[in-house]
Amino acid sequence: MAQDDKALIARLQQHGVEFVLIGGVCGVMHGAGLVTYDLDVCCRLGSVNLRRLEAALKDLNPWHRLTPNKLPFALTDELCSCLKNLYLQTDLGKLDCLGDVKGVGDYDAVLKRSVEFEMSFGRIRMLDLDTLIAAKEAVGREKDKYAVRLLRVLAEKRRGSN
Amino acid sequence: MIDAATLAQMNGEQVCPPHAGPAWREAFEYGFDMSLIEETLTKTPEQRLDEHQQKLNFILEIEATRSRKN
C-alpha cells in the first residue's frame, strides 16, 4: 500500500489542520537517514480541529487501522469528545495523530517546542531536534535508541555550526 | 600515483575526524556510515523528505513483489 507522506502533510496544511510533525518523518527532515513507514503528527484533538482533519482526509477513504473490522473514520460529537489518538489508514498511507507526546506533553506543550519550516506548499511545524530526542528517549524502544544515536550527531553538529 | 589516504577513502575506510564530537564518535564506532549523514545535512528538510519518499517507494515495491511471488 502506498505511503506518500509529503502529500499527506500538504493535505493537512491546506485544510488548516493544527498539527506538529513528530516521529520518524520529523527525524528524516532534521537529517536522520532512517526509513519510516507511517506519518506521525501531534494534533489538537478538539472538535474544530478534528472536523478540519476529517475534511482533509474525506476523499482518501480513511479508516481506523487498529480496528479489526476497519471502521471508517467518521466523526460524531460523542467521538470528538473522547478521542485521545487516531490511527488511520488512508489512500495516501498511514497517518497517526497523537493528542500528546510522551516526554513532552499535550499539543500546546508540543507546539511550544516546535519549529516552523517552509515547504513548497506552505509552512509546517515539526518538533525541534532536542525535543524529538527527548521524546524518543522517553519511548525508549530499540529502534528509538537507534534513531537517538543519529539525532544526537545532528544536534551536536548544529551546536558546532552555531 | 594515488596517496594512501585517498586510496583508503576509495576503499570505503572512514576516518573519525579529529574535531568530531562525542556523539559523532559514538555513532561512527557503532557502525553508521557517517558520510551519509554528512551528505544529508547538505539538503533542505523538503529535499530530505523527497529522498526518503524515493527510498520508501522502492522498499514498498520490493515488498509488493515479494507478496505477489508468495
ipTM: 0.81
pLDDT of residue B15: 80
Reported as a pLDDT band with limits 50, 70 and 90, residue B42 is: very high
**B48 and A28: CB-CB below 8 Å?**
yes
Q: How far is A2 from chain B (nearest CA, A)?
A: 7
End-to-end CA separation in angstroms for chain B? 52
Q: Cα–Cα distances in Å, from A126 out to A9, A96, B51? A: 11, 15, 18
Locate the domains of chain A by residue range.
Answer: 5-154
Residue of A nearest to B21 (CA): A156
CB contact under 8 A, B23 and A149: yes
Q: Nearest chain A Cα to B45, which residue?
A: A29
B37–A33 CB contact, under 8 Å:
yes
pLDDT reading at A141 higher than 80: yes
d(CA B44, CA A154): 14
pLDDT of residue A148: 95
Query: Which top CATH class is A5-154?
Result: alpha beta
pLDDT of B10 over the 80 cut: no
pLDDT at A1 (0 to 100): 64
On whether the CB atoms of residues A94 and A66 are closer than 8 A, the answer is no
Residue of A nearest to B67 (CA): A1
Q: Do A152 and B53 lie within an 8 Å CB cutoff?
A: no
C-alpha closest to that of A45 among A14, A82, A20, A71: A82
